[in-house]
A and B are shown apart, each in its own frame.
Chain A
Amino acid sequence: MSQLILRRVGMMILIMLVVALLLFLMNEGDPRLIARSVLGPYAQDQQLDAWIAQHGYDRPIMVRYFDWIGRVLSGDLGDSIIYKRPVNEIFWDRLGNTGILAGVTFVVMVVVALTLGVLAGMKEGSAQDRVISVFSITTTSIPEYASAVLLAWIFVFGLGWLPGTSAMTGGFNVVELILPVMVLTLYGFGYVARMTRASMAEVMTNHYIRTAMLKGLPYRHIIMKHALRNALIAPFTVIMLQINWLLSGVVVTEFAFGYKGFGALLLEAALRRDIFVIEACGLAAVFVAVFTQTIGDLGYTYLNPRIRFK
């Protein structure tokens, strides 16, 4: 097992380095472009040249790449062009905000998805199954930008129950989280619920479940003790993938509700070519993707002995 972990972690580091290189080449390949972004459209050629020399952008690209990696590892992410502040000052706050949104959404979504998935999978083909399936397929098919408008129309403009934006202007306010969490949960839970349902339905056809039923065990006991644990192996990887989606996929939701998170930061940076913010966000997104994938694989191996001992 420890050899497997080492192998996976090594793989993770390699992937990170390759992706970082691509990110670096795309953003910092052309020093003139960087100088132009930093100094603005009115800067003269002489000013650009001076900036390039002063900031070491006249060195070979691979030297600059490893220099950049070194700086990132030591915690220096550079200065934001549009915010006129070190990226570190903005980045971690925004990442933290998205962490809060993603964390709350994750908990709500997993609870809703597993509950509905299990309820649907317990009796495949029943009315209960049909209703849950249709509902989850419907909500998953509505993109976030549409459900954001729809929910705002109902809860903000119609009923007036909820605040329309989530910029947390007066400090953290849990009520402002409701709409974005609702939008993300509606979009995201269907996939996990469907996986859980399929897995549950499969488990329910197994002989040991039939045996347990015939033995006269209480139904609740059978579901909780025998079916559930086995049914959760397959959805586990899917759930881990949701973490990754929650970090990089929340862009639309954050945009719609003015939430000051990582997604909104990345979008703004991309639109205005804020190179060092794009790089920081890119690295963070890739790290989370690779990390959750690794954890997912390891967890799956642990849960499923057939893979573990192969």
Chain B
Amino acid sequence: MSDKKILSRDKRRYLLPSERALGAETHSYLPELCDQLRVRKITRRDFLRQAALLGMTVGAAYATADKLIGGAFTPTVAAATPKPGGTLRVSMRIQEVTDPAIFDWTEKSNVARFLVEHLTRTKADNTTVPYLAKSWEASDDLKSWVFHLRDDVTWSNGDKFTAADVAHTVNRWLDPKTGSSNLGLFAAMVETVKGADGKPLKRGIANAVEVIDDHTIKFNLRQAALAMPENFYNYPAAIVHRGFGKDYEADLSKNPIGTGPMKLEAFAVGERAILKKARDWWAGPFHLDEIHYFDHGEDTNAWIAALASQQVDMVFRLPNNAIETVKRLPFVELHEATTAQTAVMRFRVTEKPFDNVKLRQAIAACMDHKELLDKAFKGLGQIAENHHVCPIHPDYAALPPLKRDVEKAKKLLAEAGYKDGITVEIANGDTEGPWMTDVCAIFKNQLAPAGINLKINKMPANQYWEVWDKAPWGYTAWTHRPLGTMVLGLGYRSGVPWNETAYNNPEFDAALDDAEATLDVNERKKKMAVCEKILQDDAIIPQPFWRSVFKAANKRVKGHQTHPTLYHQFHNVWLEG
């Protein structure tokens, strides 16, 4: 039977009355998506993600997928009955929690996540589901998105949660004075104009946010974007109360008004954050009574010691040199998540000598990704390909594998004007652990045969974050994001706040816009291949590997899944004994 016949028949078949009732007609592209799944042109995972993004409810998406290709992928209910109550104690750095829009550490958002919440939620399995928004629709051209908000949510101060809150929050992101990284993420709502000082200024487009009624809000984009729902779960994208930063100071630790189940009982930077269950939660029961975050300083040994002596039930993250120690603790469970967390050796392409593309290419050509992964990270991850899109990203396109080529590097170096070799310096703050220094040291050896002498400028982590977007060459850690387009939009589009490479390539921007606007999964992969190739060829980020992340928790912590970004979602978490 030809594909065509299957397609036409399935188009009729997939919209059962029950599915119609579930909202399977939400977007005109959904029939096409179902066809693709039927003939296995896309995977079930791709289907679920895409269908959810286009506004289909999760239940409907799972049911439709089961219907189309069979299988029992419908989520099952956990066997054990959760026990309410108890205090979960977590060891994590406690940073200031002032304005969610300008958060730059996941740790900050973890404290805030139980106070202020998001329109959507990306689950540990990388699928995005409704949250404060109960559903959404996108126009066929993906240029306008309507989000329907829940009408049963109230703020902790008694106010009703409405579209005015969402509009206020999003408008704050789009205001350049706020300094939010969301300006890069929501590029489809952003324009570049000439600022008062003559320099280009990014700001939200007029009428980007349109309040339809109390519980409906529309976003008007200047170009198509598919990842809107996933972007709304990025960690600086929590929805704040409509008075935040307007009627009262933009400081969540002083004015913890939120829609979440908890209140901030006590808070001291560098010491503790005590969260207490304060009210009935719109999202259902929240099993834990209290969550206590304790700061045990920078020393990772102290975190593990706190876990070993049961002073805490969980550590925020486990350095990989502690994995063996933790495995020997009988009451502790090791959690691993395969992620798109990585660190990139990014060049600032406007700074000498790295403005020379041949030099960058020479350096990239020396990299043996596998050796770096195996020796510096015990092989706990996947090799990367210098373009910051990960094989676990649904929009990843495989390019021909990279191979270390010293002869080519020498040739490129000579063409770059350094035929007698060159000494270059990389800034590294070990921001994610001492393995980062190991990577630099091994890479130094890989560079040496080509005549490139690498000096490693080791600095404290906090000092690195002061120069991460300034140092001519630096080794910067990036957290996991669910889509490749998200990362590229945040980090490599011209002029966005987190563009640490100062990369400015209209050709790349156009290719990325194109990929972001493409619905067809396979077409989008092809377009992502173009973006990936441009980044790879311009050699702006030699990128050793993707790393698995580890976390450890006491076995009495139940119902917990490790999120690839280490976001704390404790909805189903409960304590035994």
Contact = CB atoms under 8 A, between A and B. Distances in A.
Given A82-B269, A271-B460, A271-B463, A167 B296 contact: yes
B309 A169 contact: no
Contact of B98 (A84, A156, A271): A84
A264 B297 contact: yes
A169 B462 contact: no
Contacts of B461: 271
Contacts of A164: 302, 304-309, 311
Interface string B50-92: 0000000000000000000000000000000000000001000
A258 B307 CA distance: 13
B462 A271 contact: yes
B434 interface: no
B270 A257 contact: no
A268 interface: yes
A34 B364 CA distance: 38
Interface string A191-204: 00000000000000
Interface in B324-339: 325, 328-329
B3 interface: no
Contacts of A149: 301
Interface in A155-182: 156-157, 160, 162-165, 167, 169
B305 A83 contact: no
Interface string B269-291: 11110000000000000000000
A279 B270 CA distance: 19
A258 B302 contact: yes
B117 interface: no
Contacts of B306: 163-165, 167, 258
Contacts of B462: 271-272
Nearest to B459: A271
Contacts of A260: 270-271
Contacts of B302: 164-165, 255-258
A309 interface: no
Contacts of A216: none
Contacts of B247: none
A258 B296 contact: yes
Q: A156, A167, A256, A268 — which one has the most chain B CB atoms within 10 A of its CB?
A: A167
Contact of B179 (A42, A152, A258, A272): A42
Contact of A83 (B96, B298, B328): B96
A268 B311 contact: no
A255 B297 contact: yes
Interface in A72-108: 82-85
Contacts of A265: 270
A265 B297 CA distance: 10
Q: B98, B271, B295, B325 — which one has the most chain A CB atoms within 10 A of its CB?
A: B271
Interface residues of B, number: 36
Q: B268, B302, B325 — which one has the most chain A CB atoms within 10 A of its CB?
A: B302
Which secondary structure dominates chain A's binding surface?
A: loop
Contacts of B420: none
Interface in A123-165: 148-149, 152, 156-157, 160, 162-165
A41 B294 CA distance: 27
A157 B308 contact: yes
B269 A156 contact: no
A278 to B, nearest CB: 13
Q: B89, B269, B305 — which one has the most chain A CB atoms within 10 A of its CB?
A: B305
Given A152-B301, A256-B302, A82 B96 contact: yes
A164 to B, nearest CB: 3
A107 to B, nearest CB: 25
B272 A41 contact: no
Q: B89, B297, B328, B470 — which one has the most chain A CB atoms within 10 A of its CB?
A: B297
A156 B297 contact: no
A190 B462 CA distance: 36
A169 B297 CA distance: 13
A49 to B, nearest CB: 13
A156 B305 contact: yes
A124 to B, nearest CB: 41
Nearest to A176: B311
Interface residues of A, number: 30
A82 B295 CA distance: 14
Interface in B533-558: none
Interface string A244-283: 0000000000111110100011001001110000000000
B203 interface: no
Interface in B351-375: none
A82 B96 CA distance: 7
B335 to A, nearest CB: 20
Contacts of B466: 41, 273
Interface in B83-121: 89, 96, 98
Nearest to A80: B269
A64 B270 CA distance: 30
A152 B96 contact: no
A163 B96 contact: no
B292 interface: yes
Nearest to B253: A84
B307 to A, nearest CB: 8
Interface string B389-426: 00000000000000000000000000000000000000
Contacts of B268: 83
Contacts of B292: 169
Given A165-B309, A165-B311, A169-B311, A256 B301 contact: yes
B270 A167 contact: no
A71 to B, nearest CB: 23
Contact of A156 (B96, B309, B470): B309
B274 to A, nearest CB: 10
A152 B309 CA distance: 10
A87 to B, nearest CB: 13
A84 B311 contact: no
A168 to B, nearest CB: 9
Contacts of A160: 308-309
Contacts of A157: 305, 308, 325, 328-329
A95 to B, nearest CB: 15
Contact of B96 (A41, A84, A256, A273): A84
Interface string A5-46: 000000000000000000000000000000000000110000
Interface string B153-185: 000000000000000000000000001000000
Interface string B480-502: 00000000000000000100000
Contacts of B460: 271
A153 to B, nearest CB: 9
Contacts of A42: 179, 497
Nearest to B470: A41
Nearest to B466: A41
Contacts of A264: 297
Contact of A84 (B269, B296, B297): B269
Contact of B309 (A85, A163, A254, A271): A163
Contact of A169 (B294, B301, B497): B294
Interface of B: 89, 96, 98, 179, 268-272, 292, 294-299, 301-302, 304-309, 311, 325, 328-329, 460-463, 466, 469-470, 497
24 contacts: A42-B179, A82-B269, A84-B269, A148-B301, A156-B308, A156-B309, A163-B309, A164-B306, A164-B307, A164-B311, A165-B296, A165-B309, A167-B295, A167-B311, A169-B272, A169-B292, A255-B298, A256-B299, A258-B296, A258-B299, A258-B306, A264-B297, A271-B298, A272-B463
Task: Report the 6 A-B pairs with minimum CB-CB distance, sorted nearest first.
Answer: A164-B305, A258-B296, A164-B309, A258-B302, A272-B462, A165-B306
Given A268-B298, A273-B466, 17 more contacts: A41-B466, A41-B470, A42-B179, A42-B497, A83-B96, A83-B269, A157-B308, A163-B306, A163-B309, A165-B296, A169-B294, A255-B297, A257-B302, A258-B306, A264-B297, A268-B270, A268-B297
